[in-house]
A and B are shown apart, each in its own frame.
Chain A
Amino acid sequence: MERATISQWQFFIITLNFTLGTTFFIRPGVLIATAKQDAWIVPWWVGAAGLATAWMWLNLYRLHPGRSIIQICTSTAGKAVGGFFALLYAFFFIQITAWVTRNLGDFMKTTLMPETPISVFHLMFLVIAAYAACKGVETIARVNESLTLLLGFTFVMVVLFSLTEWEWKRFEPALQMDFWKTVKDTRSLYGFPYMEMISLAMLFPYVKGNPGKSLLPGIAAATGLLSLIIFFTIGILGVYRASHLIYPLYIIAEELRAAPFIEHVEAAIAVVWLSSLFLKLSIAFYCSTIALCDLFGLKNRSRIALPLVFLVSGLAITIMENNVVNAQWDMRYTFTYFSLFGVVFPVVLLVWTGVRNRFIPGHKEGAS
C-alpha cells in the first residue's frame, strides 16, 4: 500500500471512466438488438441495482476502514480461507484487465489496422498501463483527470455534428417492450460493467474522506451517460442498423458528413474510444497489481507489473476465440459469474464480519 491520496473529484472521474470506458462502445449494439427503441431505458434499472450493490460495498468498507477488499478478505476470514477468497478476487481483476485488453485488440484489428498481429496492440497498451501502475495511483488519478475533459469535449462535438441525421420517428413506437422479458435478456448489463466495479474497492483506502461521496454519483453519472449514448445511437442510426453492428458509434462517426470537409471523423472517435479504454485499462491493471501485492505482501509494485503485462496479454488472447463465442458466453454467464464477486462474496464477508463482531467480544475491527 502506498501513501497516496485521491481527491473526491478524482475518484468520481475514475469511477466514471471505469464504468463507461469500454461500455459505451460495446454495449449499445447488443442492448438495441434486445430492447429495440426502448433500449435507452434499460440502463436506468440496471444502474439502480448497481447503486444498491455499491452501497453494500461501502457498508463493508465502513466496517473495515482503510482496507482494500483483499485485505478485508484476509483479515476477516484468516490467512487460509480469506487468502483463498482474495486469490479469487485477484484472478477476477486480472480477468477484467484481460477482457479490456482484448476489447482493444479486437477493435483495432477489425476497424483500423487489420494486418497487425493482435498481440502488438495488447503489449503496447499494457506496457504503458504498467508504467502508469508503477508510478502510482496519484499518477493514474491525474491522467484520468486531464484526459477526461478532452475526451468528453471531443465526443460531444462528434455527437453534436451527427445530430443532422436525427429522426424522431426512429423511436416510434415507444415503450413497447415486454418489461420482464427485457429485464431477463439484458441482465448481462448488470455484470459488465456494474459488477466489475468491485475492483474500485481496491482504491477505497486511498480516497480522501468517504469514498461513497464520489462513488455513488460516479455510478449514477455513468448510467445517465450510457442511457444518453444509447438514446443518440437510436436517434441517429436507427434500431435496424444499430442492432446489426458491433460498433455502432464508430459507424456513426464514419458516415458523418456535417459539412463538405468534415468527414472521416471516425479517427477522432477512435481516439476517444481508445483513450477511455486506456484509462479503464490502467485502473484495472493497477487494481490487479496491488491486489497481488497486498496478497503476497510485496512492497515494490514494479516487480509485479512487468510480469503481469505478459500474463494479461497472453490471457487476452485465450479469453475468447471470437466475438460470437463471447456474445453467447456474455448472454448466459456474465450475470452469474460477475455477481459472484460483486454480490455473493461481499455479502459473505459482511455476514462473517457481523458474526465475528458479535460473538467474539473485544475483537472489534479498528484501524489496521
Chain B
Amino acid sequence: MSGILRKRIVPLVAALAVSFGLTGCWDIVEVNQLAIINMIGIDRNPDTGNLIVYYQAINPTGIIAQQRSDGKAPVYTFKFEKSSPAAFEEAAAGIMPRKLFPDHFQAIVVSRRLAEEGLLDIFNYNENKNNRRSNVDVFITNSPISEVMNTYVPMEKLPGRSIRSTLEMQPKFTGRASQDAQLRDVLEHLESPELTVVPLIRVDKRNTPNVNRLEDIRGNIGNLMLVGGALFRKDRMIGELDTERVKLFLTLKGESRNIYKELKIDGHNLSIRAENIRVKRKLTLKDGTPNLKLTIRSDLALLMQNMGLDLNVETMNRINQKFEQQLTDEIVRLMEEGKSKGWDLLGVAGDIQRKRGSEWKDAKRDEEIWRHTKLGIEVVCKVRTLGTMAHPYKGE
C-alpha cells in the first residue's frame, strides 16, 4: 500500500509545494524601477525643526546620453521635509516614480548647522537599515545645502562620485583629508573622547544649476571644493579647521602620509613635499601630568626652490633644519590654539583611555587632564628626492 501511496502522494505533495513557490518573487525588483541615489543632503529647517533631505537620483539614460554628448541631465534632485529620518522613504514614494534605492549612495552632505546640533539620529537610522551602508563619505558644508545639491560638476558625471573621488585622492597626494572620514569612522568614535575631522566642502557661488553648466569650459565655477575640515567630537561638530591645520591634525594622527609645505629660508621660498610621514607617540605619566613625546620622521622631496642656492650638502642641512623647526612650531601652536578653544587636538585623552595599569585610573577619570600635557617633539627628516635638475637656473 505504501508503495502505491508513495507513487501518488509524494509527487502530488511535491507539485503542490512547488506551486507555492510560484506565487513568489516577493523581493524581485526590476532595475528600471529603482531610483538610484547618488548623493544625500541633510539639513534642518531652523524654523520648524524638521529635517530637510535632498536625494540626488541618477538618470541612467542621461548618463549614457552624456557619453554621446546630448544634453540630458545626468542627475535629478528631490527635496523632502519631514520630522524624522525614517519618514523620508515614504515621502519619496509620493513623488518619485521609482523605488528609492539608497544602497549605492556615495556621499552624505550635512549642513553645518545640523552638524553642530548632533547627528546621532541619522547615524542610528543608517546603521539599522539593512540596505544602507556605513562606508560612505561624510561631508559638512557651510554653503546652503540646496546649492550644493543642485550643482552639476565638470569631468565627472555624478556629483556624488566627484567629491568622493576628490576626497580619495587627498590622503595619497595632499594629506588634506583622511581615508578614515567615512561614516563608520565617525561612528567608531561616538563614545570616545577622540576627535575626528570630516571634510568640509563649499560650492563656488557662481554656479548655474542646469545642464548648460557642463558646456562651460571654466572648471572652477560651480564646482564643489574641498576647503578644510569640520571637527567632530562624538556626534556633533564643534568647530572648523582650515586646510593647513587639517593637514597637521591628520599628520599627527598618523592618517596623512604626504603633505605639501612651503618654507622660507633667507627670504627665499621653497616648496617641498613631506613624504612617508611616520609619527610615533609615547605617552607617560610624570607627577600626575601626562607627557607626550612625538617622534616624526619624514622624507622630503624638493619641488622648487628659487633661492638661487646651489644644491650642496650644507643647503640640504639647512632645509632639513628649517623644516624641523617649522613643523615643531606649528605643532606647538596647534596645541595652544586647541587648548584655548577646548579642543584636544593632539588626541591625548583618547590615548589615556587606552592605557592599562592602575596609575592611569585617576587620569582616566579627569576629563580635563589633557590640558596639562607636556609636549616633547622630535622631528627627523631628510631630503631624498630632488627632481631632475642638478642646479637650478639662475637667471642672469
Interface residues of A (CB under 8 A from B): 110-117, 120, 123, 127, 169, 172-176, 238, 240-241, 244-245, 251, 254-255, 257, 306
**Residues of A with C-beta under 8 A to B135:** 254-255, 257
* Cβ-defined contact, A238 with B356, below 8 A: no
Between-chain CB contacts (< 8 Å), 25 pairs? A110-B130, A112-B130, A113-B26, A113-B27, A114-B27, A114-B130, A115-B27, A116-B26, A117-B26, A120-B20, A120-B21, A120-B26, A169-B354, A172-B355, A174-B356, A176-B356, A240-B189, A240-B190, A244-B127, A251-B134, A254-B133, A254-B135, A255-B133, A255-B134, A306-B13
Pick the 4 closest A-B CB pairs, nearest first. A172-B354, A255-B135, A173-B356, A115-B26
Give the docked Cα–Cα distance between A175 and B355 (Å): 11
**Residues of A with C-beta under 8 A to B21:** 120
Give the docked Cα–Cα distance between A112 and B189 (Å): 28
**Residues of A with C-beta under 8 A to B30:** none
Counting CB contacts under 8 A, is B113 at the interface? no
Give the docked Cα–Cα distance between A213 and B188 (Å): 44
* Cβ-defined contact, A172 with B127, below 8 A: no
* Cβ-defined contact, B184 with A241, below 8 A: yes
**Closest CB-CB distance, B200 to chain A, in whole Å?**
23
Give the docked Cα–Cα distance between A310 and B352 (Å): 57
Counting CB contacts under 8 A, is B24 at the interface? yes
**Residues of B with C-beta under 8 A to A116:** 24, 26-27
Counting CB contacts under 8 A, is B367 at the interface? no
Known: A114-B27, A116-B27. 6 other contacts (CB 8 A): A120-B20, A120-B21, A172-B356, A240-B187, A254-B133, A255-B135
**Residues of A with C-beta under 8 A to B90:** none
**Residues of B with C-beta under 8 A to A110:** 130
Give the docked Cα–Cα distance between A118 and B20 (Å): 13
Look across to chain B and name the residue whose beta carbon is closest to the beta carbon of A37: B354
Query: Which of B17, B135, B187, B189 has the most C-beta atoms of chain A within 10 angstroms of its own C-beta?
Result: B135
Give the docked Cα–Cα distance between A111 and B355 (Å): 37
* Cβ-defined contact, A175 with B356, below 8 A: yes
**Closest CB-CB distance, B254 to chain A, in whole Å?**
10
**Closest CB-CB distance, A323 to chain B, in whole Å?**
12
**Closest CB-CB distance, A25 to chain B, in whole Å?**
15
**Closest CB-CB distance, A136 to chain B, in whole Å?**
18
Give the docked Cα–Cα distance between A244 and B26 (Å): 29
The SS class assigned to the B binding surface is loop
**Residues of B with C-beta under 8 A to A306:** 13
Return the contact of A173 from the options B184, B187, B188, B354 (Cβ within 8 A). B354
Give the docked Cα–Cα distance between A110 and B130 (Å): 7
**Residues of B with C-beta under 8 A to A255:** 133-135, 184
* Cβ-defined contact, A240 with B130, below 8 A: no
Counting CB contacts under 8 A, is B191 at the interface? yes
Give the docked Cα–Cα distance between A83 and B190 (Å): 56
**Closest CB-CB distance, A251 to chain B, in whole Å?**
8
Give the docked Cα–Cα distance between A255 and B187 (Å): 13
Given contacts A111-B130, A113-B27, A255-B133, contact A241 B356 (CB under 8 A): no
Give the docked Cα–Cα distance between A245 and B130 (Å): 11
**Residues of B with C-beta under 8 A to A176:** 356
Look across to chain A and name the residue whose beta carbon is closest to the beta carbon of B28: A115
Look across to chain A and name the residue whose beta carbon is closest to the beta carbon of B187: A241
**Closest CB-CB distance, A235 to chain B, in whole Å?**
12
**Residues of A with C-beta under 8 A to B187:** 240-241
**Closest CB-CB distance, B169 to chain A, in whole Å?**
12
**Closest CB-CB distance, A249 to chain B, in whole Å?**
15
**Residues of A with C-beta under 8 A to B133:** 254-255
**Closest CB-CB distance, B380 to chain A, in whole Å?**
23
Give the docked Cα–Cα distance between A77 and B325 (Å): 86
**Residues of A with C-beta under 8 A to B26:** 113, 115-117, 120
Residues of chain B from 32 to 82 with CB closer than 8 A to chain A in the complex? none
Given contacts A113-B27, A114-B27, A120-B24, contact A241 B188 (CB under 8 A): yes
Look across to chain B and name the residue whose beta carbon is closest to the beta carbon of A238: B188
**Closest CB-CB distance, B6 to chain A, in whole Å?**
9
**Residues of B with C-beta under 8 A to A114:** 27, 130
**Residues of A with C-beta under 8 A to B27:** 113-116
**Closest CB-CB distance, B123 to chain A, in whole Å?**
10
Give the docked Cα–Cα distance between A240 and B193 (Å): 13
**Closest CB-CB distance, B359 to chain A, in whole Å?**
13
**Closest CB-CB distance, B353 to chain A, in whole Å?**
8
Return the contact of B191 from the options A240, A245, A251 (Cβ within 8 A). A240
Given contacts A120-B21, A255-B133, contact A245 B127 (CB under 8 A): yes
Look across to chain B and name the residue whose beta carbon is closest to the beta carbon of A172: B354
Give the docked Cα–Cα distance between A176 and B127 (Å): 28
**Closest CB-CB distance, B30 to chain A, in whole Å?**
14
Beta-carbon contacts of B243-268 to A below 8 Å, as 1s and 0s? 00000000000000000000000000
Residues of chain B from 180 to 203 with CB closer than 8 A to chain A in the complex? 184, 187-192
Residues of chain B from 116 to 139 with CB closer than 8 A to chain A in the complex? 127, 130, 133-135
Look across to chain A and name the residue whose beta carbon is closest to the beta carbon of B188: A238
**Residues of B with C-beta under 8 A to A117:** 26
**Closest CB-CB distance, A216 to chain B, in whole Å?**
35
**Residues of B with C-beta under 8 A to A245:** 127
**Residues of B with C-beta under 8 A to A251:** 134
**Closest CB-CB distance, A88 to chain B, in whole Å?**
30
Look across to chain B and name the residue whose beta carbon is closest to the beta carbon of A111: B130
Give the docked Cα–Cα distance between A245 and B24 (Å): 30
**Closest CB-CB distance, B234 to chain A, in whole Å?**
11
Look across to chain B and name the residue whose beta carbon is closest to the beta carbon of A247: B130
Look across to chain A and name the residue whose beta carbon is closest to the beta carbon of B24: A120
Look across to chain B and name the residue whose beta carbon is closest to the beta carbon of A173: B356
**Residues of B with C-beta under 8 A to A240:** 187-192
Give the docked Cα–Cα distance between A180 and B24 (Å): 51
**Closest CB-CB distance, A145 to chain B, in whole Å?**
29
**Closest CB-CB distance, A104 to chain B, in whole Å?**
16
**Closest CB-CB distance, B252 to chain A, in whole Å?**
15
**Residues of B with C-beta under 8 A to A111:** 130
Look across to chain B and name the residue whose beta carbon is closest to the beta carbon of A114: B130
Look across to chain B and name the residue whose beta carbon is closest to the beta carbon of A174: B356
Give the docked Cα–Cα distance between A254 and B355 (Å): 31
**Closest CB-CB distance, B157 to chain A, in whole Å?**
17
**Residues of A with C-beta under 8 A to B20:** 120
**Residues of A with C-beta under 8 A to B17:** 123, 127
**Residues of A with C-beta under 8 A to B130:** 110-112, 114
